[in-house]
């Protein structure tokens, strides 16, 4: 095989926002079990490195079209990080001030990224969980006349996944098998939007929903208490804190409720947080694919599906983001800054450029 070449995209972009979407589907070559084919959809290829770039852009542009967001108006949203980062990118490009509310349990990198993109980040106590940051955002919006993005309730969320994510999957698997689609949920926008299309156009594809084993809100069967606007009126009793940041707040979002009410999934498989960490590390070290804990958890479920899937099955797993926003989380436990003993031994095996002993 000769040297790899590229031809360019054959176009120039008017804005960073025009690069959202069209993320690649990538085959897993070394760690997929024999007899099945596993692919991942790598959402880290979005410009702000997560699937939430899609909904962030559509929430703002839908509000502009509807006249709900006026020039210069401040945008506010509650987020575990990825939606806030996506909104910070969109608001920076369009000239809107952004305020984000976020529980102080989420990674420090997320706060710094949002602030780097020009947003203000208001932290809420971790003891109040996801509902605390959600209620704080509503309170600040009402007090100041700001535009509340409402990622957990707005139709703009699942709509963009129906219009982009699902269409990309349909194009990438046109004329080919797609037996399983695997996704976790944060707001539920991905699974709801993609399922709208798959149920109609690829009914043979089984949709697998996943959530943390110790925060199995959907599996519990307990309905979410809701306020008149569809938002949660409080936390869900089945929730416990979990390490899969971006997944499963302490309430069932209204966006996900559509998928539950319309039976948009064929199986629900829970996964422990440590399994997500393990598979994220394996994807990086053995496939060169860098994803966060949520991506690792989704992939872990895809591996469980692969264990019993009929021979020849094709599985697609969503990888929501990059691993770089997890540097201060348990995902990087054991990844040291200084040399390991093995690395030091390599250094000492030849005489040049040796580091002084600590």
- Both 213 and 298 in one domain: the answer is yes
What's the mean pLDDT in 124-151? 95
Scanning the structure block, which residue is given the tokens 């401040």?
A: 74
Residue 170 lies in a domain: yes
What's the mean pLDDT in 318-336? 94
Instruction: Tell me what pLDDT residue 197 has.
Output: 98
Residue 354 lies in a domain: no
Q: Which of 110, 126, 148 is the last residue of a domain?
A: 148
- Both 138 and 258 in one domain: the answer is no
Instruction: Tell me what pLDDT residue 358 has.
Output: 64
- Both 91 and 218 in one domain: the answer is no
pLDDT grade for 161, boundaries at 50, 70 and 90: very high
Tokens of 234: 């409080």
- Both 62 and 86 in one domain: the answer is yes
Residue 345 lies in a domain: no
CA torsion sign for 212, 214, 220, 225 is: negative
* 237 or 356, greater pLDDT: 237
Q: Which of 105, 125, 148 is the last residue of a domain?
A: 148
| 13 CA to centre of own chain | 25
pLDDT grade for 1, boundaries at 50, 70 and 90: confident
Q: What is the mean pLDDT of the chain?
A: 96
- Both 59 and 199 in one domain: the answer is no
Residue 58 lies in a domain: yes
pLDDT single digits (tens) 290-308: 999 999 999 999 999 999 9
Query: Is 11's pLDDT higher than 80?
Result: yes
Q: Which domain covers residue 134, as residue numbers?
A: 52-148
- Both 127 and 230 in one domain: the answer is no
Closest-CA residue to 267 (of 218, 223, 307): 218
End-to-end C-alpha distance for the chain, whole angstroms: 46
- Both 183 and 281 in one domain: the answer is yes
Residue 156 lies in a domain: no
- Both 44 and 136 in one domain: the answer is no
- Lowest model confidence (mean pLDDT) among 42-46, 311-315, 326-330: 326-330
Indicate the pairing of strand 267-271 with strand 206-212: parallel
- Both 56 and 44 in one domain: the answer is no
pLDDT grade for 240, boundaries at 50, 70 and 90: very high
Instruction: Tell me what pLDDT residue 356 has.
Output: 80
Supply the residues annotated as catalytic. 52, 294
Instruction: Tell me what pLDDT residue 193 has.
Output: 98
pLDDT grade for 95, boundaries at 50, 70 and 90: very high
pLDDT single digits (tens) 255-268: 999 999 999 999 99
Neighbours of 226 (CB within 10 A): 16
Instruction: Tell me what pLDDT residue 210 has.
Output: 98
Q: Which H or E run includes 41?
A: strand 37-42
Q: For every residue of 166-188, which 3-state class applies, written as one string?
A: HHHHHHHCCCCCCCEEEECCCCC
Query: Is 322's pLDDT higher than 90?
Result: yes
Closest-CA residue to 192 (of 181, 204, 177): 181
CATH number of domain containing 79:
3.40.50.1100
Instruction: Tell me what pLDDT residue 355 has.
Output: 86
Query: Is 280's pLDDT higher than 70?
Result: yes
Residue 63 lies in a domain: yes
> In the chain, what percentage of residues exceed pLDDT 90?
96
Residue 358 lies in a domain: no
Residue 352 lies in a domain: no
Instruction: Tell me what pLDDT residue 295 has.
Output: 97
- Both 260 and 133 in one domain: the answer is no
- Both 56 and 68 in one domain: the answer is yes
- Both 139 and 280 in one domain: the answer is no
CA torsion sign for 264, 266, 270, 274 is: negative
Instruction: Tell me what pLDDT residue 107 has.
Output: 86
Q: How many domains does the chain have?
A: 2
Query: Is 131's pLDDT higher than 90?
Result: yes
């Amino acid at each position: 095989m000769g040297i790899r070449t590229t031809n360019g995209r054959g176009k120039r972009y008017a804005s960073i926002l025009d690069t959202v979407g069209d993320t690649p589907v990538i085959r897993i070559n070394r760690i997929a079990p024999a007899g099945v084919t596993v692919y991942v959809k790598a959402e880290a290829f979005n410009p702000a490195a997560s699937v939430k770039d899609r909904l962030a852009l559509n929430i703002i542009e839908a509000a502009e079209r509807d006249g709900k967001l006026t020039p210069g108006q401040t945008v506010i949203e509650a987020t575990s990080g990825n939606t806030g980062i996506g909104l910070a990118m969109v608001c920076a490009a369009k000239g809107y001030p952004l305020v984000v509310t976020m529980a102080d349990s989420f990674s420090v990198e997320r706060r710094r990224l949002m602030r780097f993109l020009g947003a203000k980040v208001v932290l809420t106590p971790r003891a109040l969980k996801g509902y605390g940051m959600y209620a704080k955002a509503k309170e600040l919006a009402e007090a100041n006349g700001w535009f509340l993005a409402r990622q957990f309730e707005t139709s703009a969320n699942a709509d963009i996944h129906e219009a982009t994510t699902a269409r990309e999957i349909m194009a990438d698997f046109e004329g080919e098998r797609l037996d399983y689609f695997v996704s976790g949920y944060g707001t539920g926008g991905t699974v709801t939007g993609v399922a709208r299309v798959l149920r109609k156009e690829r009914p043979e594809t089984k949709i697998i929903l996943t959530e943390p084993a110790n925060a199995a809100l959907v599996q519990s069967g307990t309905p979410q208490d809701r306020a008149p606007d569809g938002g949660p009126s409080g936390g869900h009793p089945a929730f416990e804190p979990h390490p899969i940041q971006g997944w499963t707040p302490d309430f069932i979002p209204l966006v996900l409720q559509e998928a539950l009410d319309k039976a948009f999934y064929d199986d629900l498989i829970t996964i422990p947080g440590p399994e997500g960490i393990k598979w994220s590390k394996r994807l990086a070290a053995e496939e060169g694919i860098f994803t966060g804990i949520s991506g690792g958890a989704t992939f872990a479920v895809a591996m469980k599906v692969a264990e019993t899937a009929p021979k020849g099955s094709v599985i697609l797993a969503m990888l929501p983001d990059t691993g770089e926003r997890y540097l201060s989380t348990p995902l990087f436990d054991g990844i040291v800054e200084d040399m390991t003993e093995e690395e030091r031994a390599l250094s000492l095996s030849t005489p040049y450029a040796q580091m002084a002993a600590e």
